[in-house]
Amino acid sequence: MKMDIRGRKREHVESARRRDVEYSLSPGFGDVRFVHQPLPEMALDDVDTECRMFGKMLSAPIIILGMTGGYPDASKINARLAAAAEKEGLAFGLGSQRAMIEKPSLASTYKVRKVAPTIPLIGNIGGCQLKKYGVKKVREALDIVEADALAIHLNPLQEVCQPEGDHDFSGILLQIGIFCRDLGLPVIVKETGAGMSMNTAIALRSAGVCMADVSGAGGTSWSKVEYMRSGGEPVFENWGNPTCVSIAACSEMIETIGSGGVRNGLDAAKALALGAAYAGAALPFLRASDPAAEAASWKRDLKIAMLLSCSKNLWALHRARIVISGKTAEEMKRIGVDVHRYARR
């Protein structure tokens, strides 16, 4: 018997909150090391992490990524996380709005503008739903929540492992292009934990996508969540492209959000030094007893990493020297990434 969408959303969030749902595969941050600079010649307070996203100021290039919506308890979760993002000046992403499109009475579980009036708010819909709903209906859902942009999520791995999942992924790129042309808002395309390839980044750029969230392997494994739900053998629980490899492969092709196993401000700094324009995470904020304090800690650690790499601002951080070693370096080399250039900058 198929579970309805509200029950599935609740089960997803509770699994992420309380069970071991992360990849055993590393995202690669342990193989990335900043070249330490013991003469930074500035104070910690001199480090500038401010940036813009969709015309709005952020105190740091960090996004609390979309997780949930579409069932009663999601209202409290989204409001709590959005309020934390507002307090600390970060961007915030909603979970898939499919539930509110199918059941308009669930729209309230996504509405966070009252607690987050000034920050960038990113709406969310699945690639498999684009053709079904069309531009007009999705734009209406975005306007209801006052979103600044749309994230189209790609999750074929999760879907094929999900008892109720979609199995047809044809025609999605064409639909992405239509949405980029007709939506009237910036379009982000995001994976959901299995990473992206350089070829995907090139295709998305050609379709008109403004930004790609690589959401690499090494964070939450949604295939693992689905195996837990179904009791199936977890054959594909570690399938995917690791986060650091995904960032390096994609960031020269399209503006990139680095996410997937980003667990603190130092990981965020490494993602940015690898080429990401923003860093994002979901699970650490979902599990935090005080998500605003968690966000403040991330911002401080990002600043410390910038100080110790002589990066006074984000422009300098993108050019900071890093050394990449181990399996991450090997995989980057095999797909044609020049790992040595990061240390020679």
pLDDT per residue as tens digits for the range 279-327: 999 999 999 999 999 999 999 999 999 999 999 999 999 999 999 999 9
Spatial separation of the C-alpha atoms in residues 218 and 236, rounded to whole Å:
13
Q: Provide the pLDDT confidence category of residue 128 given band limits of 50, 70 and 90.
A: very high
Tokens of 111: 């509405």
Reported as a single tens digit per residue, the pLDDT across 55-93 is 999 999 999 997 788 888 899 999 999 999 999 999 999
DSSP state of 107: G
In the chain the domains, ranked by start, together with CATH numbers, are: 5-344 (3.20.20.70)
Give the least confident one: 22-26, 201-205, 278-282: 22-26
The whole-angstrom distance between residue 181's C-alpha and the CA centroid of its chain comes to 23
Residue 17: predicted pLDDT: 54
Question: Do residues 282 and 67 lie in contact, with contact meaning Cβ atoms separated by under 8 Å?
Answer: yes
End-to-end CA separation in angstroms for the chain: 57
Task: Answer yes or no: are the C-beta atoms of 195 and 256 closer than 8 Å.
Answer: no
Give one DSSP letter per residue of 194-248, joined into a string: S---HHHHHHHHHHT-SEEE---BTSB-HHHHHHHHHT---TTTT-S-BHHHHHH
Cα angle 141-142-146, degrees, rounded to a multiple of 5: 125
- Yes or no: say if 280 and 259 are a contact pair by the CB < 8 Å rule: yes
Tens digit of pLDDT for each residue in 203-226?
A: 999 999 999 999 999 988 888 888
Looking at residue 269, its pLDDT comes to 98
Q: Is the pLDDT of residue 15 over 60?
A: no
Confidence check: pLDDT of 113 > 60: yes
Angle CA(297)–CA(283)–CA(79) in degrees, nearest 5?
Answer: 80
Q: Tell me 45's DSSP state.
A: G
Rounded to the nearest integer, the mean pLDDT of the chain is: 93
pLDDT at 225: 84
**CA 16 to CA 25: how far, in whole Å?**
17
Measure Cα distances from 39 to 49, 108, 308, 311, 313 in Å: 20, 51, 8, 11, 16
Residue showing tokens 């579980």? 109
Cα separation, 250 vs 242, whole angstroms: 12
Once rounded to an integer, what is the mean pLDDT over residues 18-35? 87
With a cut of 70, say whether residue 9 has pLDDT above it.
no
Residue type, 116: A
- Residue 101: which pLDDT band, with cuts at 50, 70 and 90? very high
Q: How confident is the model over 23-30, as a mean pLDDT?
A: 93
| Cα(25)–Cα(7) distance, integer angstroms | 29
pLDDT digits (tens, 9 = 90+) for 33-61: 999 999 999 999 999 999 999 999 999 99
**265, containing H or E segment:** helix 265-274
Q: What is the pLDDT of residue 1?
A: 41
Q: Do 275 and 318 touch, CB atoms closer than 8 A?
A: yes
- pLDDT tier for residue 150 given thresholds of 50, 70 and 90: very high
What is the pTM for the complete model shown?
A: 0.93
